[in-house]
Every structure is written in structure tokens, then in C-alpha cells.
Amino acid sequence: MLCRVEVWAHDRWRIPLPNGHRFPIDKYRLLRERVQDRVTVLEAEPVPWEWLAAVHEARLLERIRLGELSVREQRGLGLPWSEVLVERGRRSVGGTVAAARRALEQGIGMNLGGGTHHAGRDFARGYCLFNDVAVTLAHLRSRDVARRALVVDCDVHQGDGTAQLLGPDPDAFTLSLHGARNYPFERIPSDLDVDLPSGTGDEEYLRALEDSLETALETLPEPDVAFFLAGADPWEGDRLGRLALTKDGLRARDELVLDRLLETGAAVVVVLAGGYAPDVVDTVDINAATVAAVAARDGALS
Ligand SMILES: [Zn+2]
């Protein structure tokens, strides 16, 4: 029997948003509908609060749980608080944990969400409530199933929350490739930040990616687990990104990262991160191509 790759989704937890809000809530449902003939989509479970507390400050979690974020925090987060927002956030992390468990057993795993890299120990901002990658790594370490981790963050925005949480960690290496003039404007440095000029296209991007991946793997040659944030927002038509990759360029990016990471023998965990195309279908096209690249590489261990 031909086995299909399982991926995790949480699109049934749809947050209420004001009309015209830029957060692409529809992409999660549209992506599941697009790929469910090809992959098995499972429902992500919410992670327990204790797992979040391994990474995030207790007082921040309390404010999130009770809906007591300050006006300033609310504005920084950019999403209105609701009970479903919190539930969705916990399930988004749960999807990354489940994908990581699969990756440890079968080589690769994917969450149709996650990549919430602007969430730090004591802050939740830029549409990111909890840092799924850092929480997942802490969980894997607590179970003694992985220790050394590489994060390859290809979202167009710099991964400041992940940098805060994992940057100082000697067993983790954080690489972020992003638009130099994109949010966040005050950075927390990653182990390796690659600031790309506005308008950077496929060729220069792929060259910078290849070089920086090699540097990362020289520093941490045999990661147990590698997280790939396959952001759709370096696309040329993105509303928030300032780079100019084509859809073909993004597909080449996915293949380059996946092949290089699988080669190291690491468990490879793929998460979506951002994507803000004026027509959400373009973002879904890019994300679906990432799912296809993952599916094509599944079974490498069998
Ligand atoms: Zn982004």
C-alpha cells in the first residue's frame, strides 16, 4: 500500500477579525482543501500550558489566557483577543509538535501552520502568540529525543522571537534570511542574519541561501532536528514583503533547503510562517508547492 504523508492543520479554529484585516485567515482552510487529496490532513491538538511555560514567561501566558494583554501588547500582536485565538494558538503549536514527532520517526513532518517566530519569552507580537519552534524543541529535549537544533527561517521577516529564545543556546543555531527593510525594525540578532536588499530576486536569494546554509551546517554539522520556516512572503507580489522571488524561485528554495537538511540526517520539520498576497490564492499556491515538495521527499527512510 502506498502510504501518504500526514500533515497537521488547525483551520477549524477560525479567529474573528474585523473586515479588511490583513491576516490571511482563509489560507489555512484553502490550503487544507487544496492538498487533502494528496496528503492525509490530521487535526492538531492543543498543547498543554505547561509546555508553553517551558519557553514563555508565566505572566505573559497568564495575560494571554485571561485576555488581559495591555493595549500596547494588543497593538503589537495585531490580532484581537478571543478565546478561539488562544485555542488556535495552542493548536498551532500542537501541529508543530506532532510534525516533529513524525519527523523523528519518518524523516520529515509538516504543520499547515506555525512558524510564529515573532513570539519571544516575554512578548507576543506580529501575529504570533506562542513560538511553536522553541516550544517544540523544549518538548523534544524534555523527552530526550533530540537536543541539537537548526532553524532555517525563510520568512521575509526576521525571526526575532526565535533569536531571543534560541540564539544564546549553544545547541541551537538560528539562521534567518529576510528583507533588510522589513519588520521587525528593532532586531534581536539570530546566530546568522542575512539582510537582503529590497527587490532581491531568485538568483541572488538562492545564492545567499546556499552560502548561509553551509555556514550554519559548519557550525552545527549534525543537528538532531531542523526546522524550516517556509514563508510565502518573499514572493514578488506580497503586500508586506520587500523581496521579489517568483513562485518557481520559492519552489527551488524549498527543494534546496529540504534536500540539504535531509542530507544531514536531521528530522526535518516544515512550518508555514507568513504570506500576505493580495489574492490569498497566490499564497495557497506557494504553500501547496511546499507541501508537494515535502510529500515528494517522504519515505526517504523507508
Ligand atoms: Zn513574515
**Degrees to nearest 5, angle at CA 156 with 149 and 177:** 50
Q: Residue 90 has which C-alpha cell? A: 495552542
263 pLDDT more than 60: yes
* Mean of pLDDT over the chain: 96
What confidence score (pLDDT) does residue 238 get?
Answer: 97
With cut-offs at 50, 70 and 90, classify the pLDDT of residue 302: very low
CA 158 – ligand 1 centroid, Å? 8
The residues, ordered by sequence, that sit 6+ positions from 199 with a Cβ below 8 Å of its Cβ are: 242, 243, 244
Q: Per-residue pLDDT averaged across 238-262, rounded?
A: 97
The mean-pLDDT minimum among 17-26, 63-72, 121-130, 261-270 falls in 17-26
What confidence score (pLDDT) does residue 4 get?
Answer: 86
What confidence score (pLDDT) does residue 2 get?
Answer: 57
**What whole-number distance in Å separates Cα of residue 106 and Cα of residue 98?**
12
Tens digit of each residue's pLDDT (9 = 90 or more) over 83-126: 999 999 999 999 999 999 999 999 999 999 999 999 999 999 99
Give the containing element (helix H, strand E) for 226: strand 225-229
What confidence score (pLDDT) does residue 222 get?
Answer: 95
**What whole-number distance in Å separates Cα of residue 230 and Cα of residue 156?**
10
46 pLDDT more than 60: yes
CA 230 – ligand 1 centroid, Å? 10
Inter-residue contact 242 to 198 (CB < 8 Å): yes
Residue ranges with CB less than 5 Å from ion ligand 1: 155, 157, 233, 274
CA 2 – ligand 1 centroid, Å? 35
CA 144 – ligand 1 centroid, Å? 31
Give the strands of the sheet with 192-196, arranged side by side: 40-43, 6-9, 108-111, 267-271, 225-229, 149-153, 172-179, 192-196
The residues, ordered by sequence, that sit 6+ positions from 131 with a Cβ below 8 Å of its Cβ are: 55, 56, 116, 117, 119, 120, 161, 162, 165
295 pLDDT more than 90: yes
Q: Residue 51 has which C-alpha cell? A: 509546555
**What whole-number distance in Å separates Cα of residue 298 and Cα of residue 6?**
10
301 pLDDT more than 50: no
With cut-offs at 50, 70 and 90, classify the pLDDT of residue 299: confident
Q: Per-residue pLDDT averaged across 135-148, rounded?
A: 98
159 pLDDT more than 60: yes
**What whole-number distance in Å separates Cα of residue 102 and Cα of residue 201?**
34
With CA atoms as reference, report the closest residue to 226 among 118, 55, 97, 100.
Answer: 100
| Strand ranges (E), 170-223 | 172-179, 192-196
Catalytic residue among 56, 118, 139, 178: 118
Q: Any catalytic annotation for residue 117?
A: no
Q: What percent of the chain has pLDDT over 90?
A: 97
